[in-house]
């Protein structure tokens, strides 16, 4: 996802996410929608506490951090949200709005403003990665890659 500019786009993505959940026999409850919506509106990598704050200040809803964590777990299971382990933050999946299945993701994370870009790892790259890991005597648990970067704007700002 490049950017979510308008609330229209957010509600469109939400209704798409809701359909996905229905198709899988799970429910995107109002609270879950609220958390997902905050993530989409903030449009960058954020912590669970950022979501609590956003819900309170921008949406006028009190959601305890424990609930936010539980909801984030659910959203991760449904592949609507990804957790970035490197920065311990969450982002909405860039593919919520489309129907094809999810491949391995690679995340470019701006270390300055926490903007995140999700890009697709090619199938060959994933196989290569798996092979190299196994050759080193390890077992690949998650091929998700998180790469420490600076985004275009932050590079410009630092010049
Ligand atoms: Zn994704
Ligand atoms: Zn940046």
92 and 123 co-located in one domain: no
Q: Cα of 64 to ligand 2 centre, how many Å?
A: 29
- Asked whether 121 and 104 are in contact (CB, 8 A), the reply is yes
| Ion ligand 2 neighbours, Cβ < 5 Å | 110, 112-113, 115, 151, 154
Instruction: Say whether both 21 and 77 belong to one domain.
Output: yes
Asked if residue 116 and residue 72 are part of one domain, the reply reads no
| Ligand 2: centre distance to CA 147 (Å) | 13
Range of the domain at 19: 1-96
Rounded CA separation 21/133 (Å): 34
Same domain for 90 and 108: no
Same domain, 81 and 118: no
| CATH number of the structural domain spanning residue 59 | 1.10.10.10
Residue partners of 120: CB distance under 8 A and separation at least 6: 103, 104, 105, 106
Q: What's the CA-to-centroid distance between 80 and ligand 1, angstroms?
A: 7
The pLDDT tens digits for 11-55 are 899 999 999 999 999 999 999 999 999 999 998 999 999 999 999
pLDDT tens, position by position, 57-109? 999 999 999 999 999 999 999 989 999 988 899 999 887 766 656 677 889 99
Residue 33 and residue 85 share a domain: yes
| CA atoms of 142 and 159, how far apart (whole Å) | 36
DSSP output for 89-130: EEEE-TTTTS-SPP--EEEEEETTT--EEEEEPPHHHHHHHH
Question: In the listed set 48, 70, 96, which residue is the last one of a domain according to the structure?
Answer: 96
Are both 13 and 88 inside the same structural domain? yes
Residues in the 5 Å CB sphere of ion ligand 1: 93, 95, 105
DSSP state for residue 43 in the 8-state scheme: -
């Amino acid at each position: 996802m490049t950017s979510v500019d308008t609330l229209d786009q957010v509600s469109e993505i939400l209704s798409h996410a809701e359909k996905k959940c229905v198709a899988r026999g799970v429910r995107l409850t109002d609270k879950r929608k609220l958390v997902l919506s905050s993530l989409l509106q903030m449009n960058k990598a954020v912590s669970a506490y950022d979501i609590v704050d956003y819900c309170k200040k921008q949406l006028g809803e009190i959601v305890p951090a424990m609930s936010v964590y539980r909801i984030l777990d659910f959203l991760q299971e449904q592949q609507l949200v990804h957790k970035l382990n490197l920065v311990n933050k969450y982002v909405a999946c860039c593919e919520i709005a489309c129907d094809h299945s999810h491949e391995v993701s690679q995340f470019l994370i701006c270390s300055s403003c926490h903007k995140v870009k999700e890009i697709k790892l090619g199938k060959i790259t994933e196989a290569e990665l798996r092979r190299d890991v196994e050759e080193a005597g390890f077992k690949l648990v998650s091929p998700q890659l998180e790469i420490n970067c600076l985004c275009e704007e932050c590079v410009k700002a630092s010049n």
